[in-house]
Structure 1
Amino acid sequence: MTVPVSAFRPAPQVIAVVGPTAAGKSDLAVSLARQLGGEVVNADSMQLYQGMDIGTAKLTAEERQGVPHHLLDIWHVTVAASVAEYQRLARAEIDRLLAAGRVPVLVGGSGLYVRGVIDVMEFPGTDPAVRARLEAELAEHGTRALHARLAAADPDAARAILPSNGRRVVRALEVIEITGRPFTANLPGHEAAYDTLQIGVDVARPELDERIADRVDRMWRAGLVDEVRALEEVGLRQGRTASRALGYQQVLAALAGECTEDEARAETVRATKRFARRQDSWFRRDPRVHWLSGAASDRGELTASALTLLERAVTA
């Protein structure tokens, strides 16, 4: 049964469902949107890409249960991700929904994307000459050399960025050079752009690891390799962001003969578990996130617990 939005007025403007991959965020977002008369706004950076469906665990039309979803499939796989562009698009969707009397339910595990939407954040510009020089150094010396330089200049940024993520390492070094400040100094504080209730879905590590392994197995059975092969034909390897996505990067390596498919699948599981830990760490640092159990034994009560949080936020 849909709960009238007016029943919760004055309510937070935005509901954000966050947490690590495989925790159950997408299902909770759909359930809350149905209950509150809302619509879902995607905050998973890889679900922005067209055709990247199986490997990003996009909900099917049936799983969306008639709830409108926004900011899915908007970029071609050759487009480099831009948090600033995503911020612009997401805020436009949220503002449109608020004007229409709908509740925006922002959902995803891309921490910087979430914070870029709900908090006051301005993105430093780019300097083509600096960027070109750093990219040339990346090509010549490799990601680990530049990551070591980042670690010396901004240890917090180095801890947050994988040594293998050359694109983000270059961007962090570019921002440091342009602004003369640590990259992390440009990250958002806790000044809100929207009145937001953040709900974190918490799953204990052993259970989450098992879910991740099961999910990867399902992806392989559902045809992830064929999906990657098809995307390769339209430029996936040339996509600076999309080609690094979990699962896609590993399958591309297998298709290039650099490893077997079994090795690619095992590495996808390992890399996803590491990624989930980083996601959890990112969101745990934000004291405004209200954590609810997404364990299998508690999933039946998850929506009710989230609605209780919302009621408390209204009456506080």
Structure 2
Amino acid sequence: MVILLGPTASGKTGLSIKLAKKFNGEVVSADSRQVYKYMDIGTDKIPVPDRQGIKHYMIDVREPDQVFTMADFQKEATHSIQEILHKAKVPFLVGGTGLYINAIADNYELEPVPPDHALRRELEAELAEKGAEELHKMLAELDPLSASRIHPNNHRFLIRALEINMKTGRPKKDRKGESKYEVFKIGVDWPREELYARINARVDTQIDRGILNEIKTLLAEGYSRDLPSMSGLGYKEYFPYLDGVRTIAECLEDLKQNTRNYAKRQITWFGRDDTIYWISPEELQAMR
């Protein structure tokens, strides 16, 4: 199995199409936001025509108001990978969600703890009242290992880790198992300023691509802005504009800054993995 990983806007998607066509492959998305239907522009899903006939898995597999956990991803992505292998094709796991990638590559032994919606609402209320840093301190006391892996701004994973700890009375256990696959990991290593310029340029296209209409349609369909899917990067930044309290320029700048910060965290995460073969932007262009 080939894993294409790296920070957002690094060129993973385009490279995956090129390599999948060349090596008779199919793509399994490892993006925690692209699992949701109707959320295309804010999550930067690859449009169907751009897939060039390459089958993609783990995209549009949940409604925006449905629960989707890392355990769900591991189970369903593993099934997709087995389907690809059964067809004697090469699976390409492509994305920037480090925990999802590790769950597959390292065969995490995940603890099957069903969601506790009442507890989750309590934690979300506490997050709104006290802030992410306070919840992260709470997690650090209960489960130092998970706290070291989860950034305070990753509210979804932070709350889930606390939920598991408080529900089971013991730390969240994501132990490495024995890998099921021979894995080759490829990452695209952009100079930081060039990557940030690519992020800014991508954000600038969202208005013309229709992000505001996408959000308005989701809200009109009854999907709450408080859902995990809607409160993520690429959606929450536009709510102040829709509420009439900030300009679109201010919201775009917030999204650029938040996306750059997210990319920085991704770079830190993947930088701990010495099994990744990093390619330069020049090599990326040559491979295309």
Q: TM-score, normalised by structure 1?
A: 0.82
Distance, in Å, in 2 between the alignment partners of 1:210 and 1:266 is 13
Where 1:62 maps in the other structure, the secondary structure is: helix
Match for residue 74 of structure 1 among 48, 61, 77: 61
**1:91–1:239 CA distance, 2 compared to 1 (3 A):** farther
Match of 1:254 in 2: 241
Distance, in Å, in 2 between the alignment partners of 1:128 and 1:268 is 30
- Please state if 1:109 is matched with 2:101: no
1:267 Cα deviation after fit = 0.6
Match for residue 287 of structure 2 among 302, 305, 311: 302
- Please state if 1:62 is matched with 2:49: yes
1:124 Cα deviation after fit = 1.8
Match for residue 22 of structure 2 among 35, 50, 54: 35
Distance, in Å, in 2 between the alignment partners of 1:302 and 1:232 is 41
| Pairwise CA RMSD | 2.3
Amino-acid identity (%): 36
**1:194–1:139 CA distance, 2 compared to 1 (3 A):** same
Is 1:143–1:165's contact at 8 Å kept on the other side of the alignment?
no
Distance, in Å, in 2 between the alignment partners of 1:275 and 1:137 is 23
How does 1:238-249 map onto structure 2 within 5 Å?
240-249=227-236
**1:25–1:127 CA distance, 2 compared to 1 (3 A):** closer
- Please state if 1:139 is matched with 2:125: yes
Where 1:244 maps in the other structure, the secondary structure is: coil
Distance, in Å, in 2 between the alignment partners of 1:135 and 1:93 is 32
Deviates more, 1:167-176 or 1:241-250: 167-176
How does 1:32-181 map onto structure 2 within 5 Å?
32-126=19-113, 132-133=118-119, 135-140=121-126, 141-144=129-132, 145-155=134-144, 157-178=146-167, 181=170
Where 1:46 maps in the other structure, the secondary structure is: coil
Where 1:50 maps in the other structure, the secondary structure is: coil
1:97 Cα deviation after fit = 1.0
**1:146–1:290 CA distance, 2 compared to 1 (3 A):** same
Where 2:250 maps in the other structure, the secondary structure is: helix
Is 1:79–1:241's contact at 8 Å kept on the other side of the alignment?
no
**1:63–1:133 CA distance, 2 compared to 1 (3 A):** closer
Deviates more, 1:142-151 or 1:96-105: 142-151
Gap regions ≥5 residues in structure 1: 1-13, 304-316
1:272 Cα deviation after fit = 0.4
1:132 Cα deviation after fit = 3.0
For these two proteins, the number of residue pairs brought into alignment is 285
- Measured against aligned partners, the alpha-carbon deviations of 1:205-232 in whole angstroms (never above 9, x if no partner) come to 1000000000000112211111111111
Amino acid in the other structure paired with 2:243: A
Amino acid in the other structure paired with 1:233: A
Distance, in Å, in 2 between the alignment partners of 1:277 and 1:190 is 28
Is 1:43–1:113's contact at 8 Å kept on the other side of the alignment?
yes
**1:194–1:212 CA distance, 2 compared to 1 (3 A):** same
**1:257–1:128 CA distance, 2 compared to 1 (3 A):** same
Highest Rg: 1 or 2? 1
1:108 Cα deviation after fit = 0.5
**1:107–1:174 CA distance, 2 compared to 1 (3 A):** same
Gap regions ≥5 residues in structure 2: none
Is 1:143–1:164's contact at 8 Å kept on the other side of the alignment?
no
1:87 Cα deviation after fit = 1.1
